Amino acid sequence: MNKKIVVLSGGVGGARFLEGLIQIIPQGKLFIIGNTGDDEQFYGLHVSPDLDTVLYTLSGVVNAKQGWGFKNETYNVMQQLTNLGNNDWFKLGDKDLAVHIHRTNLLKQGKKLSEITDELVGKFGLTVKLVPMTDDSVKTFIKTAHGRISFQEYFVKNRWQDEVLDIIYSSAEKTKPAPGIIDAILSSKGVIISPSNPLVSIDTILSIPGIRAALIKTKAKITAISPIIAGETIKGPAVKMMKEMGIEASALGVAQHYRDFLDVMIIDTKDKELKRRIEKLGIKTVVTNTIMKNNKIKKELAQIVVNTV
Ligand code: FO1
């Protein structure tokens, strides 16, 4: 039977986990749902950071140090744009810009983001199924004391310094999941929630009507990997955001956050004392090394996760 494994993925953390996963199961068995709440228009171009991070990482062209963008990238266009007086807070490399020009051009011709992403997957030499959470427009905004700002303004421009008063998945209620998502969840072998930011990666995907209900309904096992280890994250503002939103910033807090659909929680050895408390929620808990500092650990983690679904 060709049942797929569905992965809900955000940006860098999700992509790094997927890098391990494609080394232990065939790419054709993976159905990856990507967050597009971070999408933004720059210079009239549609930029999909999280989809691109998955594409670049899995095809081996990513700048591994920063986790996004191409390796060996040049910034000639950006430099000239800056010389012409444009903002330079969002760094768009030359090769990266080519992807955004290509994507925007096809969107203007009437193609759906999911069709374009499908085509890009092939062009990058991959055989995974990578699907944006929706073909409709959803944009994540952060409510701050100075008003509402877009996710990229919060994350890149302001370096996540603003206190988060609320998170808004703008227009989410008017959207529908991209083709195939609900079927994939309902008929999957298992669902994996990657170690991505629960509030601005995974919850964004869950804000699309029908996706959470499908996770609750599916008979497949659902496993999440905690992005929080001993009260900290490897990268990004998840801990700060969760605290500001009144959510416990720990693997237990993540398990509680996903408890209406979660079967298994993977936590780091540094958090082993949380196992009993998570299991009290009725969620099986596996303790292992989740810091993906080398390829061996990445593959081992992927194998442990696959064994649970
Ligand atoms: N992150 C930054 O911190 N600074 C940047 O200038 C930046 C540019 C950028 C360009 C294209 C792209 O696909 C991603 C980019 N990112 C940048 C990363 C990205 O904004 C975030 O990692 C994600 O949105 C969070 O998942």
Query: Could you tell me the domains of the chain?
Result: 5-137+172-308 (3.40.50.10680), 140-169 (no CATH)
Distance 73 CA to ligand 1 centre (A): 14
130 Cα to the center of ligand 1, angstroms: 19
Kindly give the confidence (pLDDT) of every residue in the chain, 309 residues in length, as a single tens digit, with 9 standing for 90 and above. 579 999 999 989 999 999 999 999 999 999 999 999 999 999 999 999 999 999 999 999 999 999 999 999 999 999 999 999 999 999 999 999 999 999 999 999 999 999 999 999 999 999 999 999 999 999 999 999 999 999 999 999 999 999 999 999 999 999 999 999 999 999 999 999 999 999 999 999 999 999 999 999 999 999 999 999 999 998 899 999 999 999 999 999 999 999 999 999 999 999 999 999 999 999 999 999 999 999 999 999 999 999 999
Cβ neighbours, 10 Å, residue 149: 16
- Residues with Cβ < 8 Å from 307, sequence gap 6 or more? none
Give the CB-side neighbour count of residue 39, counting CA atoms within 13 A. Answer: 27
Question: Is the CB of 253 within 6 Å of ligand 1?
Answer: no
The ligand 1 atom at the shortest distance from the C-alpha of residue 196 is 26
Q: Which atom of ligand 1 is nearest to the CA of 92?
A: 10
**35 CA closest ligand 1 atom index:** 26
Percent of the chain with pLDDT over 90: 98
Q: Which atom of ligand 1 is nearest to the CA of 159?
A: 3
Q: How far is the CA of 94 from the centre of ligand 1 (A)?
A: 14
Check: CB of residue 302 under 8 Å from CB of residue 21.
yes
Nearest to 263 by CA among 209, 198, 199, 193: 193
Which residue's CA is the nearest one to ligand 1's atom 1? 156
Q: Which residues have C-beta within 8 Å of that of residue 143, sequence separation ≥ 6?
A: 164, 165, 166, 167, 168
Three-class SS of residue 101? helix
Centroid of ligand 1 to alpha carbon of 188 (angstroms): 31
CB atoms closer than 10 angstroms to residue 219: 7
Amino acid identity for residue 128 in this structure:
V
The C-alpha atoms of residue 130 and residue 115 are separated, in whole angstroms, by 10
Q: Hey, which bits of 138-263 come out as E strands?
A: 139-144, 147-150, 166-170, 190-193, 221-225, 228-229, 232-233
Q: Give the Å distance between the CA of 55 and the centre of ligand 1.
A: 14
Rounded distance between C-alpha atoms, residue 14 and residue 38, angstroms: 14
Nearest CA to ligand 1 atom 21: 49
39 lines ligand 1 (CB under 6 A): no
Nearest atom of ligand 1 to the alpha carbon of 50 = 26
